[in-house]
Amino acid sequence: METTNQRPNLLWGALVGVTFTPLLIALFYIGERFASLPFLPLNFFDWIARNLPGELITFGIDTMVDLLIATGFGENLDSAAKTAERLMGLGLFFGIGVVSTAIFFLILNQIDWRKVSYIPGISYGLIFGAVIMLLAIPLSFASPVSPAMKVLWSSILFVGFGAAVGWAYNQLAFPAVAIKPKTGDVEPQGIDRREFIVRVGGASATLTVVGAGLGALLGGEVGEGSPTNSGGENIAAANTSELPNAHSDVIPAPGTRPELTPVADHYRIDILSGGLPSIPEDWTLPITGLVANEADWSLEELMDMPSQSEYLTMSCISNRIAGSLISTTKWTGVSFKEILERVEPSEEAMAVKIVGYDDFDEYVDLELLRNDDRIMLAYHFDDQPLPLRNGFPLRIHIPNRYGMKQPKWIRSIEFVDAWEPGYWVRRSWSRDAIVNATSVIDTVATDDVYSDDDGQMFVPMGGIAWAGDRAITAVEVKIDDGDWVAAEIREPLSGRAWSIWRYDWAFEEGNHTVQVRTYEADPEGQSDPVLQPTETRGTRPDGATGIHSSIFSAIVPEEEEGEAEALEG
Ligand SMILES: Nc1nc2c(c(=O)[nH]1)N[C@H]1C(S)=C(S)[C@@H](COP(=O)(O)O)O[C@H]1N2
Ligand SMILES: [Mo]
């Protein structure tokens, strides 16, 4: 006798997807934590990010970042952006798991399957998995295991996922029935659909939470904490008394950012939403293409070449005015001139193509490399190997350009016969990415009001000004409707590091607005200093410009009374 049972519809399929996709994600996560296996859900997101229109992704991330910051989760813009990317990546993978499972149910409903086998479920897992693997495994740079191992592990998980979905379909479509001995009526036995989903969902949720929790607690850190990431700890206590400008008489106002960014706090921006790339232990730098002498140097060989060091400020082109995607540290490396002398580019060579271990690529004009011996292949931040997050073992520095022009994790350098747009240029960001002059208010130190001998009270304020490799010649501030007045400028760490400014404002009780602007030296040294671009412009495509302002209220400090009382008592 036939049951009149209806097949589970789309919605049941979606529910089963909701049930099992998180478990699939959790298993990928556990594999990553414990065995450095690929975390395909995020690698898949990276594929999407690389292949969808850049605007869409940027918009999505910007929106998420705003949300994270508004809700207090985003302390640093760069880590907020990474968190946003990861949440989007997991959400997307989850959504695809749900939708494709629903579609799988629809398809099965068209076919007269009986409770025959797991073949449909396993096939579904294989097809779903094949698509994800095809797109995501080529981007699983963080996982050092062999491609065969990546395919094997991922296949096991996807087949398991498909089998679980197929099993759930069978349970929902053909519940166990009992035929009543006397009447011959068919009666469903055991649990109904709702109960089934609740039970299976509960079990899956428990496994997911326990598994992910264990992975987070016990698993080794992938990428972020690898042995090559040695820089951070050593530098946190950088000895600022030995800085080249230690004797400068302009003391930063309280609350100004550190002049030298601790390496562990250096901002991080890259196109990997998951782990950091895995760098081979026997890394060498292949230099190929239009050169007389191809080369393949080890890091030691590069470090044996004449080196140069400089304090450098680097900023992301997507740093908003007063954003946190800007840092200053001491870079050490070998001038690209040294490389050119050794490899001897041929006549036809016009540019070099630099590719990173994340497949990020950027082209640099050979003429620029020839004319600017400050361009370097850098291997140290603050006298220590580059942290993995900032480009270990080697990255390039090109003065006066935003970070998008400075590839990390260099895998190869090739001399080619034509310049081409690199990764971000192809996504309609600036071709040259020349740094705009900007100035920022870090602090209005209303808690550090002090009085001079005449009893005049002052509020120290300060921040940074930076114009790439162009010198900062002046900084001016304007309080409310007052005139623009000159701030003091501290001698910078170098001609390519930000300048710290300070202004001590004669205290006036009330609410106020302060604005800041800077001047850069004329590059040719011919004319007067040039005012920074004051027009408010967003980051895309050429980097943000505009005047930074800050609102503050000045209240007569009460401490003096308090202190006096304390002394009496
Ligand atoms: N290989 C690689 N290099 C890269 C990137 C990247 O995604 N991959 N991002 C660039 C961008 S946009 C910036 S702002 C800087 C950031 O360097 P940091 O992470 O060390 O601060 O790296 C640049 N170099
Ligand atoms: Mo950037």
SS (HEC) of 292-303: CCCEEEEHHHHH
Q: Which residues share a beta bridge with 158?
A: none
Determine the residue type at 147.
P
Quick: pLDDT tens for 253-265. Answer: 999 999 999 999 9
Q: Which residue has the higher pLDDT, 88 or 139?
A: 139
| Three-state SS at 66 | helix
The residue contributing the CA closest to ligand 1 atom 19 is 268
Q: Which residue has the higher pLDDT, 449 or 111?
A: 449
Range with lowest mean pLDDT among 102-111, 188-197, 200-209, 369-378: 188-197
Averaged pLDDT for residues 215-232: 53
- C-alpha 273 – ligand 1 centre gap (Å): 13
Ligand 1 pocket by C-beta < 6 Å: which residues?
266-271, 316, 356, 358, 360, 390-391, 403-404, 406-409
Q: Given this model, what pLDDT does residue 567 score? A: 43
DSSP state of 554: E
Q: Given this model, what pLDDT does residue 7 score? A: 85
Q: Given this model, what pLDDT does residue 56 score? A: 74
- C-alpha 517 – ligand 1 centre gap (Å): 28
Q: 231 pLDDT band (50/70/90 cuts)?
A: very low
In the predicted model, is pLDDT for residue 299 greater than 90? yes
Q: Which residue has the higher pLDDT, 198 or 78?
A: 198
pTM for this model (two decimals): 0.88
| Bond before 393 cis per omega within 30 degrees | yes
Q: 177 pLDDT band (50/70/90 cuts)?
A: low
Q: 174 pLDDT band (50/70/90 cuts)?
A: confident
Strand 284-289 relative to strand 307-315, pairing:
unpaired
CA dist 431 and 349 (Å) reads 20
- For residue 143, give the nearest of 53, 291, 32 by alpha carbon: 32
Averaged pLDDT for residues 36-54: 92
Highest mean pLDDT among 102-116, 168-182, 185-199, 496-510: 496-510
H runs (alpha helix) in 186-330: 193-218, 231-236, 299-304
Angle at 318 between CA 259 and CA 311, to 5 degrees: 30
The residue contributing the CA closest to ligand 1 atom 10 is 404
Q: Which residue has the higher pLDDT, 53 or 394?
A: 394
Q: Which residue has the higher pLDDT, 338 or 73?
A: 338
CA dist 304 and 549 (Å) reads 47
CA dist 334 and 326 (Å) reads 23
In the predicted model, is pLDDT for residue 271 greater than 70? yes
- C-alpha 82 – ligand 2 centre gap (Å): 13
The residue contributing the CA closest to ligand 1 atom 12 is 404
Averaged pLDDT for residues 363-385: 97
In the predicted model, is pLDDT for residue 11 greater than 70? yes
Q: Which residues share a beta bridge with 517?
A: 476
Q: Given this model, what pLDDT does residue 557 score? A: 74
- C-alpha 88 – ligand 2 centre gap (Å): 20
Q: 412 pLDDT band (50/70/90 cuts)?
A: very high
- For residue 175, give the nearest of 11, 7, 18, 13 by alpha carbon: 7
In the predicted model, is pLDDT for residue 249 greater than 80? yes
* Residue-by-residue DSSP string for 148-199: HHHHHHHHHHHHHHHHHHHHHHHHHHS--EEE-TTT--EEE-S--HHHHHHH
Range with lowest mean pLDDT among 130-139, 423-432, 436-445: 423-432
Q: Can you tell me which residue has the tokens 């009447």?
A: 183
| Three-state SS at 465 | strand
Determine the residue type at 486.
A
Q: Which residue has the higher pLDDT, 180 or 164?
A: 164
H-run or E-run covering 467: none
Averaged pLDDT for residues 384-402: 98
In the predicted model, is pLDDT for residue 450 greater than 50? yes
- Measured from the CA of 271, which atom of ligand 1 is nearest? 7
- C-alpha 328 – ligand 1 centre gap (Å): 14
Q: What are phi and psi of 466, to 5 degrees?
A: -155, 140
CA dist 269 and 305 (Å) reads 29
Averaged pLDDT for residues 366-391: 97
Range with lowest mean pLDDT among 77-81, 108-112, 549-553: 77-81
In the predicted model, is pLDDT for residue 289 greater than 70? yes
Burial 393-431 (b: 16+ CB within 10 A, else e): bbbbbbbbbbbbbbbbbbbbbbbbeebeebbbbebebbe
Strand 186-188 relative to strand 177-179, pairing:
antiparallel
Give yes or no for a contact between 356 and 409, defined as CB atoms under 8 angstroms apart.
yes
- C-alpha 272 – ligand 1 centre gap (Å): 10
Give yes or no for a contact between 502 and 248, defined as CB atoms under 8 angstroms apart.
no
Q: Given this model, what pLDDT does residue 469 score? A: 96
Ligand 1 pocket test, pick from 46, 139, 270 with the greatest ligand atom count within 8 Å of Cβ, gives 270
Percentage of the chain modeled with pLDDT above 70: 89
Q: Given this model, what pLDDT does residue 416 score? A: 98
Averaged pLDDT for residues 477-504: 98
Q: 190 pLDDT band (50/70/90 cuts)?
A: low
CA distances from 528 to 50, 516, 519, 523 (A): 44, 19, 9, 10
Q: 181 pLDDT band (50/70/90 cuts)?
A: low
Range with lowest mean pLDDT among 137-141, 176-180, 359-363, 540-544: 176-180
Q: 3 pLDDT band (50/70/90 cuts)?
A: very low
Give yes or no for a contact between 377 and 384, defined as CB atoms under 8 angstroms apart.
no
The residue contributing the CA closest to ligand 1 atom 5 is 270
